[in-house]
């Protein structure tokens, strides 16, 4: 399905009309316009602006595309909430965006204008709208509460983005320090150390052990840098290939969950997302098993995803939620208890919201604690490395001075 811009003459009118239309081919677009009583004067591919058409597929979202989708959902919920028709709302929002995302909204509008439901139109663009968007929109359309469903969906996406941003912000400083440490090491070993040690080496004086270690490392980096590049590249390709396999991904996720501090942070952040996804879907009227399937696809950690899959199988067979989660041994006892009590009391959505709020606070605390530990540790490590290089260069100079005296 492609998006085309057109200029045409309406039957019985003197002025040109212009707009966009979604069609499979240029000929299909002309046929659709003729059915509307329009005589086509010019037809161009919307993306390229050329008369020649190319098949349109929503591209992989660029950086910030998730925020664009969240903004679109929030704006659509607002317009529908004040009584604006769906097609008019989509047209209004499309004028506020540009580029590929505007093309996606135009395609969405044209599919709805052709008689498709909003959820079905979203399902045709999986790189822009995920399963959560499609299912909540579908439930909202069926229940006649599309504005409320989209409002709830926007709140979920905004909440998830805020949590991700808080964790990312807490780890920015350690990442910067690590990057500076790597570049400083390369600079010292390839430029500074050789120039300082060269006069000492020319005097043919015995060098202290730290100096010999630094000189050997510097010589290797200068003479065999291409070997280091090949080794790093080979390791990167090997790791990437392993992580593409299911077993490699499981091994990495299991290792991450077992790490001190970081493992607890990753687990709790995943549980917050699972709880919010399930709560949002259940409030929208989706049955628990279906909500559990969607929560699996929204979980990045393979170990927790497999645990949710085992829960789904057990619950489908007639088991209780709490027992199924306890048997996976992937969730803390508190999480198991919340699910069990929520099922017994019939207030699972409310309890999941409370669980998400409690764990979200713990995630924030854990992220700050991890950053507080990493920052001084990285600074001390960098200082020790620089101190070792300084000693390696200063010791032979001191020895030469003592010998002269």
pLDDT tens digits, one per residue of 59-76: 344 445 788 888 999 999
pLDDT band at 136 (very low <50, low <70, confident <90, very high): confident
pLDDT tens digits, one per residue of 34-55: 777 777 777 777 553 333 333 3
CA gap 219, 194 in Å, rounded:
8
pLDDT tens digits, one per residue of 160-175: 787 777 767 767 777 7
CA gap 356, 159 in Å, rounded:
11
| Residue 146 sits in the same domain as residue 254 | no
CA gap 255, 259 in Å, rounded:
7
Residues spanned by the domain of 112: 65-169
The last residue of a domain, from among 125, 140, 169: 169
| Residue 252 sits in the same domain as residue 348 | yes
CB-based contact 289:311 (threshold 8 Å): no
Q: Is residue 288, in this structure, part of any structural domain at all? A: yes
Give pLDDT, residue 95. Answer: 86
CB-based contact 296:283 (threshold 8 Å): no
CB-based contact 221:190 (threshold 8 Å): yes
The residue assigned the tokens 């390791």 is: 235
Both structure tokens of 285: 């009227």
| Residue 256 sits in the same domain as residue 146 | no
Give pLDDT, residue 22. Answer: 67
How many folded domains does the chain comprise? 3
Residue 134 predicted with pLDDT over 80: yes
Helix (H, G, I), strand (E, B) or coil at 42: strand
| Residue 222 sits in the same domain as residue 80 | no
Give pLDDT, residue 230. Answer: 92
Give pLDDT, residue 234. Answer: 92
| Residue 339 sits in the same domain as residue 205 | yes
| Residue 163 sits in the same domain as residue 239 | no
CATH of the domain at 102: 1.20.81.30
Q: Are strands 2-10 and 16-23 parallel, antiparallel or unpaired?
A: antiparallel
Mean pLDDT of 248-264: 84
| Residue 229 sits in the same domain as residue 193 | yes
pLDDT tens digits, one per residue of 172-227: 777 787 787 778 777 777 777 777 777 767 766 677 787 788 778 877 877 887 88
Buried-state track 33-43, b at ≥16 Cβ within 10 A, e below 16: beeeebebeeb
Overall pTM > 0.95: no
pLDDT tens digits, one per residue of 359-397: 888 888 877 787 778 778 888 887 888 788 778 777 777
């Amino acid at each position: 399905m492609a998006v085309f811009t057109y200029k045409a003459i309406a039957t019985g009118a003197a002025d040109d009309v212009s707009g966009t239309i979604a069609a499979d081919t240029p000929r299909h677009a002309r046929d659709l316009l003729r059915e509307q009583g329009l005589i086509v004067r010019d037809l161009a591919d919307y993306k390229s602006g050329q008369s020649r058409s190319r098949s349109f597929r929503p591209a992989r979202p660029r950086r910030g595309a998730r925020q664009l989708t969240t903004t679109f959902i929030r704006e659509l919920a607002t317009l529908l909430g004040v009584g604006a028709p769906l097609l008019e709302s989509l047209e209004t929002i499309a004028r506020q965006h540009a580029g590929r995302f505007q093309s996606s909204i135009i395609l969405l509008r044209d599919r709805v204008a052709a008689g498709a439901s909003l959820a079905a139109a979203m399902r045709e663009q999986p790189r822009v709208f995920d399963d959560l968007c499609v299912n909540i929109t579908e439930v909202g359309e069926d229940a006649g509460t599309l504005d409320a469903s989209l409002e709830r969906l926007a709140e979920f996406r905004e909440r998830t983005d805020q949590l991700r941003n808080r964790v990312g912000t807490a780890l920015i400083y350690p990442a910067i320090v690590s990057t500076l440490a790597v570049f400083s090491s390369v600079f010292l070993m390839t430029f500074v150390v050789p120039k300082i040690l060269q006069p000492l080496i020319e005097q043919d004086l015995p060098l202290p052990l730290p100096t010999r270690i630094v000189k050997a490392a510097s010589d290797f980096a200068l003479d065999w840098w291409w070997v280091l590049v090949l080794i790093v590249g080979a390791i990167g390709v090997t790791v990437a290939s392993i992580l593409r396999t299911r077993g490699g991904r499981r091994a990495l996720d299991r290792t991450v969950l077992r790490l001190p501090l970081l493992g607890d942070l990753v687990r709790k952040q995943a549980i917050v997302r699972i709880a919010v996804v399930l709560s949002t879907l259940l409030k929208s009227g989706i049955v628990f098993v279906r909500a559990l399937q969607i929560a699996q696809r929204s979980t990045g950690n393979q170990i927790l995803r497999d645990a949710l899959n085992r829960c789904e199988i057990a619950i489908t067979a007639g088991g209780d939620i709490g027992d199924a989660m306890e048997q996976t041994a992937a969730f803390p006892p508190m999480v198991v208890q919340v699910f069990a009590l929520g099922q017994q009391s019939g207030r699972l959505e409310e309890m999941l919201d409370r669980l998400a709020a409690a764990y979200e606070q713990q995630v924030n605390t854990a992220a700050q604690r991890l950053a507080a530990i990493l920052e001084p540790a990285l600074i001390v490590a960098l200082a020790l490395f620089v101190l070792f290089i300084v000693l390696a260069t200063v010791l032979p100079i001191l020895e030469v001075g003592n010998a002269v005296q």
